[in-house]
Chain A
């Protein structure tokens, strides 16, 4: 779990704006999501709580009346007949009444069989174990990351002045198959591209972890560039939808969206070049440098200066 905590801390440390919107989680990105809970079908059996390793679920001794009166019977597939009956009865008794006025009801101590589940966005790793454990099918995973809830409020940071001799500083993660060869080829071809990038060789673009990107940003990079083999040509998976670069493409999209929300949008970019594409590699670096130049220096307050 330490890894998740480190990651959340890293996001908070590079955030310069309080995020306002939830982030859609691309299909291939796992480990991030929202557990949706249908209180009206829940039997408070606590199986999900027992199954949840990071401790993201807890029992709340209230009965979620708003969900009860909003549920549509029998559309929602009640397995528990008692719950279905209770919901039906409550709905037929409900006065012509504003939904907003319906409040959760606390369950008296000593009364077994009632309760609601509390889900903590921060702890959840979207492993879906709770969903497997739930006998009443009241949990579902929604591919949405509740960023505002997780990151919380961010204090405004002082605006940095752009120094006269400022040049963008970009960390470029290159996979050691095609894209590293492409960078080599660009050199062999004596192509010139801006001296803004520092390449870091990694086994596969898919091996790049979010924490690496965050660290780069936290340490003063103005942008992070990820390059990999051409799509469908990854050395670790090739055509498979699970190939490293396919996966990373979705990840980068996800993290770009997060960057957008926390005020450092446009500073993360992924592109692909094969070993024969020295020119394309130079172009990628040039385009991204140009983009960073427009954005200006990173607004993240740097903790330790990176010596060039």
Chain B
């Protein structure tokens, strides 16, 4: 049975929507139409409990699925449910025009009815997950992950790179915390991670999929070892090297020119000395390094030394560190060390003060340099083996810094701690805990992962591998004369569907025909209710863009009524066909809204949708149509105005 449930949001929505007319006009589309005042509250949920059975297909006209979807997901007996956000997408943004707003609600609810018609139950991804974890890197973060997971009862193999050594590690990672805290933490973690199997060696090959990776490890004694693991956590460390300023500042030539890690020893023995601490202007430090610099210079100054810091940009999240340094008497000069001359036991340092545009000279006893922190030297090789992307500085790139900070570009592989960027102790431990939680979540989710998966029609398939190339998650693979779907790698984004030239890949519940039918119905219903009034179709990704449109509702940023939002799993799923279909059905404008550049939750959707729109625009130009009728743009929740701006610009 197809049922419609409308929520009045505690009797507020009738102020802007004519709910009676909606019921009257849409009644024939559904077998039953019920109105409730608060579907999201316990009484509403109980009401749905009694009204909805397992085989029903239902449309919920209420607030956004981001809100009502959460309590309903657990309570609803059916999976065939379409949410029509009549509050955020209609009532709250079209407060001026009740008649048109009601028309829009009717059109969207009818669209919801078509949507559920095409819906199928979600496929449970019932695949084996190996309940063993490999942690690469035995530093703080690696030990923390191992310790966390061992305590959760997971079998962990901890792979330490050949050169790893505990005391050396504490010595070299002083930037993370002071020596004693660091030592204590490492010792504590070594004790709690005892249950992990420790190996010394390097990963030489990786195959398989998320949940079932086969790893070959070359041990230090030359033997090779096969390991089957469910997930991999990369927790490699950083290495320090002398900055490019080293040559100017006679580092290596004079024993009084040192790196900052030696400042503490210098300052403890001698006081009353003049010390110049220099930052390299070409190097962009992390928060951990900036804070470390401030901590060290404060201590040196407190010991009775004159400390001058020639800095370019000291980056720290803790303002107090800077204040404390100032109070302890550290002199900050913004500028670059340009020239150093040795004069007896001292150095004459010339630096240009960029604030005063003036050249200054200091005579100092010691020059202390801030080193550059680079990723572990084996990172690139490891990333090649594991098929991970690196960022500009050579650290391992996270999948999406906001929402998926410990995920890498490859599903099933996570990063923790300094593998991502230099971090202080707390951040590294937090990141490691985050990674272990994500891993654990994956392990206990066995058989529970659900989604609408792409279904491949072998008859239609030309084996052109467009989907294999387009998939950002390696979830489609060519296996002889077949394209096979790897559900554990899949993120259900639908990019493969857009890439397929023949429609051999169809998305469950999001079949091409269903999109075309929905677009057609919106066009027809709009014409019926609104006549010749122009309308806009917005194809929004279900992540950032949809959140932004919801935000427009929350903040009351109104836009014209003839604007219909269709939610796609990812903007990368939109192909020229849906865009052109919108125009054919009479839309004045079609907007494809995606996540901000580089911020796609599925890695490539933002870029792909821009390409698709550009390509479609070229097609339109070629056949004499106005290409400005379609556009791709990003929308993010932080910019609730975006929807208003984009839609208002039309015509």
Contacts and interface: CB of A to CB of B under 8 A. Distances in A.
- Tier of interface size on chain A: 35 or more
B470 interface: yes
B499 interface: yes
B304 to A, nearest CB: 61
A114 B501 contact: yes
Given A69-B623, A79-B502, A85-B577, A111 B464 contact: no
A43 interface: yes
B469 A86 contact: no
B625 A44 contact: no
Given A80-B501, A83-B502, A112-B470, A93 B620 contact: yes
A74 interface: no
Given A45-B463, A93-B620, A114-B501, A108 B516 contact: no
B47 to A, nearest CB: 42
A161 interface: no
A101 interface: yes
Contacts of A69: 623
Chain B contact-residue range equals: 35 or more
A89 interface: yes
B502 A82 contact: yes
A63 interface: yes
B624 A113 contact: no
B580 A89 contact: yes
A105 interface: yes
B611 A110 contact: yes
Contacts of B600: none
Contacts of B462: 43, 45, 47, 80, 135-136
B466 interface: yes
Contacts of B467: 112
A46 interface: yes
A166 interface: no
Given A108-B615, A113-B466, A103 B622 contact: yes
A81 interface: yes
Given A97-B623, A107-B615, A113 B499 contact: yes
B99 to A, nearest CB: 31
Interface in A69-115: 69, 79-83, 85-86, 89-90, 92-95, 97, 101-108, 110-114
A97 B364 CA distance: 80
Given A90-B619, A93-B625, A95-B624, A108 B611 contact: yes
Contact of B501 (A45, A65, A93, A103): A45
A103 B624 CA distance: 10
A83 B501 contact: yes
A256 B465 CA distance: 46
A86 B611 contact: no
A89 B581 contact: yes
B578 to A, nearest CB: 10
Interface of B: 460, 462-467, 469-470, 499-503, 512, 516, 575-577, 580-581, 583-584, 607-608, 611-612, 614-615, 618-625
Interface of A: 43-47, 63, 65, 69, 79-83, 85-86, 89-90, 92-95, 97, 101-108, 110-114, 135-136
17 contacts: A43-B501, A45-B462, A80-B501, A80-B503, A82-B503, A85-B512, A89-B580, A93-B584, A95-B625, A97-B623, A103-B622, A105-B621, A108-B614, A111-B611, A111-B615, A112-B467, A113-B500
